[in-house]
Amino acid sequence: MVAAFVIAACQSNPKKNANNGATTDSVRYADQVHAEYAKGFKISYHKNYKLLEILKPFQNQVDTLRYSLVPRELTDEIQVENSKEIPIPVRSIIATSTTHIGLTEMLNANEIIKGMVGAEYVYNKEIRTRLEDDKITSFPMGEFNKEQAIAMQPDLVMISGGQSSQFDNYKVLMDSGIGVMVNSEWLEKTPLGKAEWVKVLAALLNKEQLANKKFNAVAQKYEELKAAVDTVDDKPLVINNMPYKGAWFVSGGDSFTAQYLKDAGANYPWYGSNQTGGLRKDFEVVYEYGLKADIWLNPGATQTKEDILAKDARFKDFKAFQTGEIYNNNRRKNEAGGNDFWESGVVHPEILLADLIKIFHPGIVPDHELYYYQKIQ
């Protein structure tokens, strides 16, 4: 099914339908990208355009969004039915999530970011410098100024899929001729699936060759690390996160976080659930596991063991608290609160996996030093 708002965006015009043959010379795509791990997008290559399909753009909707990526010099002549046209290569974007920085960084394309939502939480040093030099317009978190965005006239606004109603909030931008593309990498169930969304940006920038080279290296290393753990029998029991207002949200068994734990050789109490997001558990349920869990990961925003006890003195009874096996993913966090875990970590799951293996099975990666994680003292 094609989303209605995409169909509506394709008004009739005198441009020639790409499927009926165009009079222009064909554009050849020697370098192509295709999804191997990701389930949320598909890219196909045609005579004079690329077709990008976002297969599950929103949490509450399974309609497919179709974007025709048309070379800039052909946009006056080519029209692809039932799609929203994006002229390529894209030269400027407004990024609405710091996770998008990981994509531009991998493709050596940070310069295309001209606007940044949540700029106060950026970790990337180059992006921060460009923000300080007013080369990037800052949009504070939750305060996206549409009039300001229209005045900037970027080629593209990249948004993260949530509820489909969020897309409607950007209609005024689309009516002004600004492309709005949904990036749903966060809905992927596997770390490599999330990282592979770099190929979507590559198709927009005509950087397929670079994306294939870099992603293939990431995937190869990830698979090698995973294979090294596959034969391990002794798997430590792991819990994660921190309770909030009496409830403890843990990662669902079909989430990308649970996949990380599985690939790193951990025993996790909720592998059997089929949830892709968080599971709401009573404090007492997780507490019982905490008493015997070997390792505790990501205990909220805590920096020290004293911080943990300040949340609840009962945590001193946890096995991991007593043995000191508590780790948080905030080693690469700046004073402003920006955390590289949510930027480069999106496209470098092989480093994150190596961190977890170092924590669970240090003998497998003896020379690896923790990069995103650190032990809480």
In tens, the pLDDT along 6-40 reads 433 343 344 555 544 444 445 668 899 999 999 99
**What is the pLDDT at residue 180?**
92
pLDDT bin (cut points 50, 70, 90) of residue 171 is confident
| Count of the separate structural domains present in the chain | 2
Q: Is the pLDDT of residue 60 over 80?
A: no
Does 197 lie in the same domain as 87? yes
Does 183 lie in the same domain as 45? yes
**What is the pLDDT at residue 234?**
94
Domain carrying residue 209: 4-219
pLDDT bin (cut points 50, 70, 90) of residue 142 is confident
Among 141-155, 258-272, 294-308, whose mean pLDDT is lowest?
141-155
Decide if 156 is inside a domain. yes
Does 112 lie in the same domain as 15? yes
Instruction: Give first-to-last CA distance, the chain, whole Å.
Output: 52
Per DSSP, helices labelled H in 51-114 are: 99-106
Does 213 lie in the same domain as 236? no
pLDDT bin (cut points 50, 70, 90) of residue 144 is confident
Decide if 168 is inside a domain. yes
**CA nearest 263: which of 360, 346, 365, 347?**
360
Q: Is the pLDDT of residue 92 over 60?
A: yes
How many Cβ atoms are within 10 Å of 315's Cβ, its own excluded?
Answer: 21
Per DSSP, helices labelled H in the chain are: 4-9, 99-106, 125-132, 146-152, 164-168, 171-175, 191-195, 198-205, 208-229, 256-263, 283-290, 305-311, 319-323, 344-347, 349-360
Percent composition of the chain: helix, strand, coil (DSSP 3-state, to 5) = 40, 20, 40
| Phi and psi at residue 168, to the nearest 5° | -65, -25
Does 238 lie in the same domain as 157? no
Q: Which of 177, 192, 219 is the last residue of a domain?
A: 219
**What is the pLDDT at residue 324?**
97
* pLDDT above 70: percentage of residues in the chain: 90
Does 26 lie in the same domain as 126? yes
CA-atom Rg of the chain in angstroms: 22
Decide if 201 is inside a domain. yes
Q: Which of 188, 219, 250 is the last residue of a domain?
A: 219
Does 143 lie in the same domain as 71? yes
How does DSSP assign 274-321, residue by residue?
Answer: --SSEEEEEHHHHHHHHTT-SEEE--TT--SHHHHHHH-GGGGGSHHH
Q: Which of 199, 219, 239 is the last residue of a domain?
A: 219
Token reading at 333: 């966090």
Decide if 42 is inside a domain. yes
pLDDT bin (cut points 50, 70, 90) of residue 165 is low
Q: What is the pLDDT of residues 65-80, one digit of tens each?
A: 999 999 999 999 999 9
How far apart (Å, rounded) are the C-alpha atoms in residues 30 and 132? 39
Does 246 lie in the same domain as 191? no
Decide if 224 is inside a domain. no
Decide if 63 is inside a domain. yes
Decide if 139 is inside a domain. yes
Could you tell me if 340 and 123 are in contact, meaning their C-beta atoms sit under 8 angstroms apart?
A: yes
How far apart (Å, rounded) are the C-alpha atoms in residues 354 and 364? 9
pLDDT bin (cut points 50, 70, 90) of residue 161 is low
pTM for this entry: 0.90
Does 239 lie in the same domain as 355? yes
Does 369 lie in the same domain as 328? yes
Can you tell me whether residue 183 is helix, strand or coil?
A: strand
Q: What is the mean pLDDT of residues 256-277?
A: 94
- With residue 341 as reference, give the H or E element that holds it: none
Q: What is the pLDDT of residues 183-242, one digit of tens each?
A: 989 889 999 999 999 999 999 999 999 999 999 999 999 999 999 999 899 999 999 999
**What is the pLDDT at residue 246?**
83
Does 143 lie in the same domain as 47? yes
Higher pLDDT, 231 or 346: 346
Q: How far is CA 105 from CA 96, 99, 111, 211, 311, in A?
A: 15, 10, 9, 11, 37
Could you tell me if 368 and 228 are in contact, meaning their C-beta atoms sit under 8 angstroms apart?
A: no
**What is the pLDDT at residue 6?**
42
pLDDT bin (cut points 50, 70, 90) of residue 274 is confident
Decide if 225 is inside a domain. no
**For the ranges 160-164, 219-223, 250-254, the one whose mean pLDDT is highest:** 219-223
Altogether, the residues listed in the chain come to a count of 377
Angle at 276 between CA 272 and CA 279, to 5 degrees: 70
Does 199 lie in the same domain as 56? yes
**What is the pLDDT at residue 245?**
85
CATH number, residue 253: 3.40.50.1980
